[in-house]
C-alpha cells in the first residue's frame, strides 16, 4: 500500500568515488579485480573533504523547520572504492543525521570484463570511440546501454522506497538521498532521469573524483541542477544550451509532463512543414 503522506526527497545528490589505484595506474586492473580496486590516500582525503562540503551545503540551504531536521540516506555501489569513499564521507556527518545506508549492486561500475590487460584495453577503448560510447559493449562486459537498463530498475526501486517511506523519515524532517557510485553510472542515471537522448548522453563529461552534483526539488515539482549549480558548471559538464535551459525552467516553471518532454525532439524525426492537415479549413 502506497504511503499517502509521501515525503519527496529535498535533494538527490550524485557522487563519484575518490581517486583510486586504477585512476593513477591502469595496470592495477591486470592483477586486481575491478571491484577490489582500493582508494589511494589522496582519494580518502578527497572523500573526507567532500563529506564536509556536502554537510555544509545541506545544512546551509535547509532553512525551514523541516530543513533544520534534515536527514541523509545513502545508496552505495558494492565496489571497494565506493564503500571506502562513503566511510570517509560519513565522517562529515553526525549519527543523528544519517537515517541509513543501502548497498545497491545495480549502481556498480560498468563491467569492462574480468582482469583488464592495459594494452588490450587501450585498443578496445579506441574502438569504443569509433563505435559510440553508449552502444559499444566491452568483450565479456557491458555497454552503457546495459548499465542504463539496470539503473532504470534501480530508479524504480528507489521511488518505491520513497512511496512507501522505507527510508522511515519523520514527516518533520527534510530528506536528502545521496548516491555514491561511479562516473559512467552517474551519467547514465542522469540520462534516464531527465530523459536525455543518446546524443545528449555522449556529450557529457565524466565526474571528477569525489565530485558531487546536486539535484534539488524546485517550486515546479521537478528536480533541477540550476538551484545549486551555475550555467558555467553545466557547460563544463558537457550540457548543451537546450539542456541547461530545461534545468532553469525546472526551478520555478510549469512542470513538464513526459509527453511534453518528448515533443522537444519532434523536429529530429519529422519535417513539420504544415501546421494543420491539408483538408482542414
Listing DSSP states for 110-159 in one string gives PP--SS--HHHHHHHHHHHHHH-TTTPPPTTS--HHHHHHHHHHHHHHHH
Which of 64-68, 87-91, 203-207, 241-245 is predicted least confidently? 64-68
* pLDDT level of residue 276 (50, 70, 90 thresholds): low
Res 114 pLDDT > 50? yes
Tens-place pLDDT, residues 164-200: 888 887 887 899 999 999 999 999 999 999 999 999 9
pLDDT at 66: 60
Query: Cell for 88?
Result: 570517509
pLDDT at 3: 45
Give the C-alpha separation, 45 to 40, whole Å: 9
Res 6 pLDDT > 90? no
Query: What would the mean pLDDT of 105-131 be, rounded to a whole number?
Result: 92
In this structure, whether the domain defined by 11-217 belongs to CATH 3.30.70.580 is answered with no
Give the C-alpha separation, 174 to 71, whole Å: 6
pTM over cut 0.75 = yes
Res 281 pLDDT > 90? no
Segments in the chain forming alpha helices (H): 21-24, 41-60, 65-68, 80-89, 118-131, 144-163, 183-193, 198-202, 231-236, 241-252, 258-263
Query: Cell for 98?
Result: 544519517
Catalytic residue among 17, 167, 182, 229: 17
Please enumerate in sequence order all residues whose Cβ is within 8 A of that of 276, keeping only pairs 6 or more positions apart, or say none.
Answer: none
CA 187 to each of CA 106, 145, 191: distance values in angstroms, whole numbers, following the listed order: 14, 12, 6
Query: What would the mean pLDDT of 72-93 be, rounded to a whole number?
Result: 98
pLDDT at 264: 60
Q: How far is CA 203 from the centre of its chain?
A: 16
Query: Cell for 42?
Result: 589522496
pLDDT at 96: 93
Catalytic residue flag (residue 17): yes
* The 11-16 sheet, strands edge to edge: 98-103, 71-76, 175-181, 11-16, 212-217, 223-224
Strand partners, 14: 179, 213
Short-list 156, 240, 204, 232, CA closest to 16: 204
Q: With beta carbons less than 8 A apart as the criterion, state whether 44 and 92 touch.
A: no
Query: What would the mean pLDDT of 143-150 be, rounded to a whole number?
Result: 98
Catalytic residue among 109, 142, 174, 200: 109
Looking at residue 27, what DSSP letter applies? G
pLDDT at 119: 87
Every domain range in the chain assigned CATH 3.40.50.1240 = 11-217
* pLDDT level of residue 258 (50, 70, 90 thresholds): very low
Amino acid at each position: 500500500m502506497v504511503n499517502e503522506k509521501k515525503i519527496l526527497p529535498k535533494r538527490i545528490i550524485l557522487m563519484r568515488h575518490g581517486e583510486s589505484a586504477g585512476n593513477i595506474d591502469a595496470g592495477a586492473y591486470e592483477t586486481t579485480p575491478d571491484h577490489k580496486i582500493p582508494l589511494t590516500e589522496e582519494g580518502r582525503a578527497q572523500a573526507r573533504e567532500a563529506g564536509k562540503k556536502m554537510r555544509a551545503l545541506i545544512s546551509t540551504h535547509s532553512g525551514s523547520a523541516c530543513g533544520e531536521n534534515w536527514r541523509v540516506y545513502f545508496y552505495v555501489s558494492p565496489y571497494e572504492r565506493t564503500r571506502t569513499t562513503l566511510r570517509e564521507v560519513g565522517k562529515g556527518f553526525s549519527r543523528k543525521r544519517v537515517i541509513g545506508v543501502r548497498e545497491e549492486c545495480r549502481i556498480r561500475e560498468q563491467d569492462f570484463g574480468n582482469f583488464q590487460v592495459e594494452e588490450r584495453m587501450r585498443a578496445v577503448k579506441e574502438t569504443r570511440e569509433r563505435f559510440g560510447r553508449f552502444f559499444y559493449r566491452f568483450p565479456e562486459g557491458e555497454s552503457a546501454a546495459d548499465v542504463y537498463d539496470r539503473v532504470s530498475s534501480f530508479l524504480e526501486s528507489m521511488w518505491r522506497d520513497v512511496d512507501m517511506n522505507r527510508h522511515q523519515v519523520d514527516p518533520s524532517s527534510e530528506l536528502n538521498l545521496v548516491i555514491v557510485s561511479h562516473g559512467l553510472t552517474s551519467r547514465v542515471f542522469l540520462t534516464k532521469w531527465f530523459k536525455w537522448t543518446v546524443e545528449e548522453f555522449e556529450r557529457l563529461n565524466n565526474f571528477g573524483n569525489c565530485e558531487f552534483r546536486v539535484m534539488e526539488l524546485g517550486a515546479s515539482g521537478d528536480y533541477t541542477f540550476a538551484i545549486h549549480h551555475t550555467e558555467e558548471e553545466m557547460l563544463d559538464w558537457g550540457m548543451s544550451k537546450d539542456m541547461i535551459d530545461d534545468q532553469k525552467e525546472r526551478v520555478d516553471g510549469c512542470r513538464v509532463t513526459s509527453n511534453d518532454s518528448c515533443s522537444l525532439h519532434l523536429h529530429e524525426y519529422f519535417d513539420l512543414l504544415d501546421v494543420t492537415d491539408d483538408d482542414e479549413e
